[in-house]
Amino acid sequence: MIQRPQAPMRFMFGSLAVIAIVVGSGAAVFAYTAGWLSPHRLTPTKIVDALAPPTGAALGHRRNHVKGICFAGVFEANGAGTALSRAEVFTQGRYPALGRFNLATANIDAPDATVRVRGIGLQISTPDGQEWRSAMIDPPFFTVSTPRAFYELLRASASKDPNAMATFTRANPEFAAFAAWAKSAPWTGSYAEDRFNSLNSFVFTNGSGAESTVRWSLLPAAQPVAVSPDDLAKRGPDFLEQEIAERVRGQPQRWTMIVTVADPADPTADPSKAWPADRRAIEVGTLVVQQIQAERDGPCRDINFDPTVLPAGMRTSDDPFPAARSAAYAKSYDLRTAEAKDYPRTGPEAKP
């Protein structure tokens, strides 16, 4: 249209009108996504903002699971996972793994002994150029059943209203199971002794096209030793990072990966509901952690452990959390990378 100056002026005006409509529509979509046109809609920004501690976010850091330490190692696949998924990561072999042990807190100054939930972020890469990223935690089930309820939990826990948590629990009775676990489950003195669970459900497809809805867990080779929170507090505010670094210097640490297959009636969209213990479980390989490095200059610093980054042969299920987590992780990533000057690297490869 612009290349034809002899066209009538009304034709040009009509083209400009079309462009304006397209741009306006795009802006409207962006505004909707950002929540400007729907103030009650749950957005990544709302979730990330709700995570902030009273003292404010630690600039340059993740907005949740802010305390963490990097690791490098390998995933040793035994080949059994090919019965469930055609992903190369399950073909017998050794694949490079990077990850991050972490604590589920947004407060970078929180003493380790005060944080009930521990986690692990994991990325496994295969020669076909694909990656499997996962973020797991140590409870056997999640706190709540929906992303909206998680957001309301964040708001209630930060509220100055003394009845906020009681009101939240009445509206979300599934939280009671998590609260009971948090109160009674034993604590350990090491990441190496913790079991980590995906909690969210995913769909695996094998080479024949058969699909299975699954969850997975990492079971520690190290024998868990229960330690009271009071005794853990005596070990210092950052004892977990110090302990895992020392332990891995002594010898690599291992976790067996178990994939659990759901029965047709099992709840796949609700991570607050554990599946029965008698479900089919397949040992698919072993995570071997060989090296520990501080996050500031470590290989995990810029990895976004987005649970929707999956290789061929895996996909998300009807569980709404992976998509919600992916969006919130992306928002957190954008914020922290824009604040890199507030968390400067110190090594020889430090970026300006």
> Rounded mean pLDDT of 127-136?
98
Give the pTM.
0.88
pLDDT value for 40: 75
> Rounded mean pLDDT of 69-81?
98
> Rounded mean pLDDT of 68-97?
98
Residues 332-346: tens digit of each pLDDT: 999 999 999 999 999
**pLDDT above 70: residue 33:** no
CB 299 within 8 A of CB 305: no
Residues 187-199: tens digit of each pLDDT: 999 999 999 999 9
- Angle formed by the axes of helices 164-171 and 147-158, to 10°? 160
**pLDDT above 80: residue 39:** no
C-alpha 146/C-alpha 39 separation (Å) is 19
Residues 142-152: tens digit of each pLDDT: 999 999 999 99
**pLDDT above 60: residue 235:** yes
Answer left, alpha or beta for residue 207, where phi above 0 means left and psi between -120 and 50 means alpha: alpha
C-alpha 147/C-alpha 283 separation (Å) is 30
- Angle formed by the axes of helices 44-51 and 321-338, to 10°? 70
Cα first-last separation, the chain: 45
Strands (E), the chain: 67-77, 93-103, 118-125, 131-137, 196-197, 202-205, 211-220, 253-261, 281-294, 314-316
CB 257 within 8 A of CB 284: yes
**pLDDT above 90: residue 273:** yes
**pLDDT above 90: residue 270:** yes
Residues 291-325: tens digit of each pLDDT: 999 999 999 999 999 999 999 999 999 999 999 99
Q: How many residues does the chain have?
A: 352
C-alpha 137/C-alpha 42 separation (Å) is 23
Nearest to 301 by CA among 100, 7, 107: 100
**pLDDT above 60: residue 63:** yes
pLDDT value for 26: 38
C-alpha 99/C-alpha 330 separation (Å) is 17
Percent of the chain predicted with pLDDT > 90 = 86
C-alpha 290/C-alpha 125 separation (Å) is 16
**pLDDT above 90: residue 8:** no
CB 108 within 8 A of CB 58: yes
Mean pLDDT of the chain: 90
Cα dihedral: 300, 303, 306, 307 (round 10): -40
C-alpha 37/C-alpha 32 separation (Å) is 5
> Rounded mean pLDDT of 92-112?
98
**pLDDT above 90: residue 352:** no
